[in-house]
Amino acid sequence: MKYYVVDAFADEVFKGNPAGVCVLDDPIDDNTMQKIAAENNLSETAFVVKNGSSYNLKWFTPKSEIDLCGHATLGTSYVISNYVDIGIENMTFNTGSGILKVKRNGDLYEMDFPLRKPESIELSHEIISEAIGITPIAAYLSRDLFVVLETEKQLKELTPDFSRMIKLKDGLGVIVTARGTDVDFVSRCFYPKLGVNEDPVTGSAHSNLIPFWSQRLNKDIMVARQLSSRGGTLYCKLAGDRVKISGKAVPYMIGNINICR
């Protein structure tokens, strides 16, 4: 199969979040996909196969399949539009989270994702503070544990204890967010349960972040920044019960995966 690595939510190489994209001629079994993802050892490897006028898409971390991934969807869209169905602007993906649509607008790829509003929970702030290294001002839960800090500076200086974080009962991962200084809001995302201590840029987390900050900032259109060491910029829009997440992408590598049996 043809294999690509694309830096998503980036306008230059070595920024954003690298996604592996495997372009298949025919479907393969989940066990093989999981082994490939573990071998690639990126936060996500996407597997895409054409299905009529749409595409079937799955995402795997090095440890398990996941139900929604933004940066690997962006990376896949870049690959399809530039190398597979060259020049295509509207793409439809069949996924475990339903039908996802992506529209190419020049060098921006706009993803139409489900909205996942985080719900307030009663959770000991002491337990969270032991895991993330600071006491939050609020905690919520969606697919992931969603934690709010008072300042961007606190977010930048976080030093999580991943051995404690992996033992948290609530949430697949941990999203930590604060109001931004140069952008509308900022975040960092941690997924040690999936073998990814800190995810460089997490598109799916913004299914939670967009409705949360839209309500608090009274804005439907926002710019967000994920403050990992690589960093990434996301252009966000609240659209009813959906969210629109846009970003740029740059290619890093093109190769072949050969599996001899």
Which residues are known catalytic residues?
44
For residues 151 and 176, is the Cβ–Cβ distance under 8 A?
no
**Token couple for 232:** 């990434």
Torsion of Cα atoms, 65 then 67 then 68 then 73, to 10°: 50
Give dist(CA 95, CA 249) in Å, integer.
21
Strands 185-191 and 196-199 come out as antiparallel
For residues 17 and 232, is the Cβ–Cβ distance under 8 A?
yes
- Which of 137, 30, 39, 82 has its CA nearest to residue 251? 82
Q: Is 79 left (phi over 0), alpha (psi -120 to 50) or beta?
A: alpha
Amino acid code (one letter) for 36: I
